[in-house]
Structure 1
Amino acid sequence: MPKPMSAARRTSIAGLLTATSLVLALSGCTTYDVTAPADARADAPAAEVKKKDTADAKAKDGKARGNDVDCRKAKCVALTFDAGPSENTNRLLDILKEEKVHATFFMLGENHVAKRPAEVKRIDAEGHELANHTWSHQILTDISPAAAKREMSRLQEAVHKITGKTPTLMRPPQGRTDESVSKISKDLGLAQVLWSVTAKDYQTNDSALITKRVLEQTERDGIILLHDIYKGTVPAVPGILKELKKRGYTVVTVSQLLSPAKPEPGMVYRP
């Protein structure tokens, strides 16, 4: 796939060849809008930039608390977990709490959110980002638009019922998206988030190998994809975080990585 250009230079006019609106989907050639985190930050509306800078100034003066990292200045990488919550999630949350790190959780509905509402509540209560990975992990480009919409909206409704919050981010299963999925995502208020780092932890329970793969691929403004449903993943997290911090990275959520830009519904964000 071609590397995306600045969102300020993209166009939604069908048929025009641009680096941000023309991508090669796995199922064929289609058009949808893509931008990188750095470009999203650079193209953030002036009002959002001012709001972010004001908040940062207050934080510096000790008048504000919270997640005040500025990825325009800091060497950031976003940490994300797919397909949970699971029996491993509470241990993962303990680790993230110990390390003072927040992550984005792209959750599944069936057998996960539906069966583990306590973990969903804890993810939210401890300041992590709630996100959508569909209800039952169907490949959205392989099913009808109506079915794809149900896959996304059903998860939205379940998370809102548990937490009172509705996700604004969605990760399509296997990263497969197209123009139709992007339109549905936009209608549901969901931005799409892909990744740049994968440990392929669905292939191995070797925590050392998972750690090695993550560290080899991580660069500034990257998005790390892990799964808290596999046995080898959570034990790898402390070592990953320790080494990332040693290398000067600040580990953030996806929304923090994009700030001062706000996730744009329908947009595909990919480093």
Structure 2
Amino acid sequence: MPKQISAARRSSMVGLLTAASLALALSGCASYDVTAPADARADAPAADVKAKDAKDTKGGDAGGDVDCRKAKCVALTFDAGPSENTNRLLDILKENKAHATFFMLGKNHIAERPAEVKRIDAEGHELANHTWSHQILTEIKPDEVKRELSRVQDEVRKITGKTPTLMRPPQGRTDGTVSEISKELGLAQVLWSVTAKDYETTDSALITKRVLDQTKRDGIILLHDIYKGTVPAVPGILKELKKRGYTVVTVSQLLSPAKPEPGMAYRP
């Protein structure tokens, strides 16, 4: 049985499940919890809210803290790396003082590029899980789902000493079983509201336009640092987002003072 959720979450679930573009609906199973970042912040336990406010009063932490209850935030995320393009992307993010969440693949990516994984972590970005080999989790057995996720957890921990708390299911496809396994592994599920479909074009100007046309407050932007046209689009995206008053954050910053809840699916 799905657990009881707040009215805000129920509202988010209804909107989410009725959206035509919602990848979750492809699974045909809605026996899991879904919430939006704004609802997660509103539902944050009082203790977490007080702790967040106390930290803000002191000027934030050493890495700089953002309060997305007040700021006009948008989360920037990159899937399926690291790749040969990741170091250039990290240079761009550093130049723009922006941080992102990296949903990384294991096979041929984390396993082959541990130096990039270390750099992502060292420069204050968020390490996250995109499975070992990009299998569609709703189409494989539970033991395989667990293996796809846990292998990434183990490899990232071995490289950085940190274990991801976020995962993105390939194609956004999840169901009750995937959610339960994610919960067991301590992983919240993160979907998106903005996609440039950068896997189908190398036109950086088009990628930029698609992102900017879709971005709204509390959005989650999906890009891939493995594709040729994506990284060259990032400087223009960041410049225009800043011009429009957005603060670019990681997914966990977007949710704060709430903490990512294992098994929960987050989507604006």
Native 8 Å contact 2:77 2:222 kept in 1: yes
Partner of 1:42: 42
Distance 1:57 1:37 in 2: 22
Question: Offset at 1:199?
Answer: 0.1
* Residue 169 of structure 1: aligned partner: 166
Amino acid at match of 2:123: E
Aligned mate of 2:7, from 6, 9, 15: 9
Per the TM alignment, residue 51 of structure 1 is displaced from its structure 2 partner at its CA by 0.5
Go from structure 1 to structure 2 and tell me whether the alpha carbon gap of 1:20 and 1:74 turns closer, same or farther (over 3 Å shift). Answer: closer
How many Å separate the matches in 2 of 1:32 and 1:196?
19
Query: SS at 2:82's partner residue?
Result: coil
* 2:73 equivalent in structure 1: 76
Of residues 131, 139, 155 in structure 1, which corresponds to 2:152? 155
Structure 1 residue runs of 5 or longer lacking an equivalent are 1-5, 12-17
The Cα of 1:66 is off from its aligned counterpart by 2.0
Q: Once the 2 structures are TM-superposed, how far is the Cα of residue 31 of structure 1 from its aligned partner?
A: 1.5
Which secondary structure does the structure 2 equivalent of 1:26 belong to? helix
In the alignment, structure 2 segments of 5+ residues that lack a partner are 18-23
Secondary structure of 1:251 counterpart: strand
Calculate the TM-score normalised by the size of structure 2: 0.93
2:21 corresponds in structure 1 to none
TM-score where L is the length of structure 1: 0.92
User: Which amino acid letter does the alignment assign opposite residue 32 of structure 2?
Assistant: Y
Shift of 1:10: 7.1
Residues 35 and 49 (structure 1), Cα distance of their counterparts in 2 relative to 1, 3 Å cut? same
Counterparts of residues 124-163 of structure 1 (less than 5 Å): 124-163=121-160
Which portions of structure 1, spanning 4 or more consecutive aligned residues, are displaced by more than 4 angstroms?
18-22
Paired-residue identity, % = 81
The structure where helix makes up a greater share of residues is 2
Q: Output aligned runs, 1:229-268, within 5 Å.
A: 229-268=226-265
Separation (CA, whole Å) in 2 of partners of 1:231 and 1:10: 39
CA distance in 1, matches of 2:29, 2:146: 22
Alpha-carbon distance in 1 for matches of 2:153, 2:85: 23
Match of 2:120 in 1: 123
Question: Counterpart of 2:49 in structure 1: which amino acid?
Answer: V
Letter in 1 for 2:33: D
CA RMSD, Structure 1 to Structure 2 (Å): 1.6
Matches within 5 A, 1:101-120: 101-120=98-117
- For residues 93 and 73 of structure 2, what CA distance do their matches in structure 1 show? 16
User: What is the CA-CA distance between 1:65 and the residue it aligns to?
Assistant: 3.0
How far apart, CA to CA, are the structure 1 residues paired with 2:74 and 2:13?
24
State how far apart, in whole Å, the 1-side matches of 2:141 and 2:245 are.
Answer: 45
Number of equivalences:
257
Does the CA-based 8 Å contact 2:75-2:248 persist in structure 1? yes
* 1:98 positional shift: 0.3
CA distance in 1 between partners of 2:224 and 2:11 (Å): 30
Match of 2:91 among 89, 94, 105: 94
Contact 2:29 2:176 in 1 (8 A): no
